[in-house]
Amino acid sequence: MRIQRLIIGLLILLGSASGIAAHCASTDKPLKVGFVMVGPATDYGYNHAHNLGRLYLQSHLPNIQTTVAENIPESAEVERVMEKMISQGNRLIFSTSYGYLEPAERVAKRHPEVTFMQTWRPSKLKNMGCYAAYQYEPLYAVGVVAGKMTKKNSIGFVCAHPVPLLIQNINAFTLGARSVNPKVKVRVVWTNSWSDPATEAEATKGLIDSGVDMLGCVLDSPLTVAKTAEKNHIMFFGTQADLHEIAPNYWLTGSRFNWDRTYFNIAKAVQDRTWKPTAQMLGMKEGAVELCSFGKLVPTALQKQATASAEQVKQGKKIIFLGPLKDREGKHRLAAGQAADPKLMSEMNWFVEGVDGTLPKR
């Protein structure tokens, strides 16, 4: 009997040990993270910036495996791709394009065990958070450079869709330019597509023919506009990424995303089970957006002025959208001393003075 009790005790201990080992093994499983992108990760623009963040996450956070799906249109195709990612064991999915929200929400409702993070647009689902970067912040400083550098006071801006996010960018850039040169006019052309190189080239050439002496864009990939500007000896400012290597002779500066710490912090919170479905609105202060390098055309004194302007925005000493502020029709949008609140920013459908371009009526 004594031997039997010893055997039973040993079996219990072994069982407990195996249970502990199983528990350790389960907690040691890597967190699989999926990224869905609307374009190629090599576009040297919007998707490239997200992919750099993915690679940073993969190399800096232990126990992480990432996968990426590229060139996924803003359609029902998003659902199929996300469902496949989930079947492969991904438990955190970054939905990186503006138009992914609705299909991502449908998938999220079917999989409450999976955490979703959607760019730019918040959701009310308990397993879906939102993250965005105030791209317009460094664009104010870019505008300061543009306002000083233009000779014709005519600047072209090729943009994708007339959504609040892009309108914020155009307005902030224009406010920066006109803060140093009130004569500046910014001509906006919409392509109505995040990526359409043929239309982008046509829009760029049209702006050049109209007499602009400087070009910029907010598109998934700025490559077409940058290369066309360089070829035609037109000064160029960028968004999404630093393009000084693409337009070495006519590059001025630009704004760029930096998703490194954002992706690290979100994945770490999921690992630690501290994640909450909040909307993370990030700016220069958090390092999510930055002012790019300066091109050789930009005088040293102007580089210092633009850098100082960007630093003021970063420290909260300069509020870009601060009243008194009127739109281009003369309507007062912000009273004296009043700063734009999140609601006004998220619904922005008007241009400030100095912008020339069409806007859809609402």
Q: Look-up: residue for tokens 């126990």?
A: 63
In a domain, 15, yes or no: no
Cis peptide bond upstream of 30, omega within 30: no
245 lies in the same domain as 264: no
Alpha-carbon span 288 to 282, nearest angstrom: 6
- What is the structure's pLDDT at 241? 86
Kindly state whether residues 81 and 147 are assigned to the same domain: no
Domains in the chain, number: 2
Please report whether residue 311 resides in a domain. yes
Residue 361 lies in a domain: no
pLDDT of residue 16: 39
Last-in-domain residue among 282, 317, 332: 282
Indicate which CATH number applies to the domain containing 329: 3.40.50.2300
Residue 362: its pLDDT value, please? 59
**Which residue in 157, 319, 163 sits closest to 254, CA to CA?**
157
Q: What's the distance, Cα to Cα, between the start and end of the chain in Å?
A: 86
Q: Are residues 124 and 239 in the same domain?
A: no
Q: How far is CA 254 from the centre of its chain?
A: 14
Neighbouring C-beta atoms of residue 16, cutoff 10 Å: 10
pLDDT of residue 204: 97
Q: Can you give the residue range of the structural domain that contains 58?
A: 29-133+259-282
- The answer to whether residues 196 and 336 belong to one domain is yes
Tens-of-pLDDT digits for all 362 residues of the chain?
A: 444 444 334 333 334 333 333 333 335 789 999 999 999 999 999 999 999 999 999 999 999 999 999 999 999 999 999 999 999 999 999 999 989 999 999 999 999 999 999 998 999 999 999 999 999 999 999 999 999 999 999 999 999 999 999 999 999 999 999 999 999 999 999 999 989 999 999 999 999 999 999 999 999 999 999 999 999 999 999 998 898 989 999 999 999 999 999 999 999 999 999 999 999 999 999 999 999 999 999 999 999 999 999 999 999 999 999 999 999 999 999 999 999 998 999 899 999 999 999 998 75
Whether 23 is in a domain gets the answer no
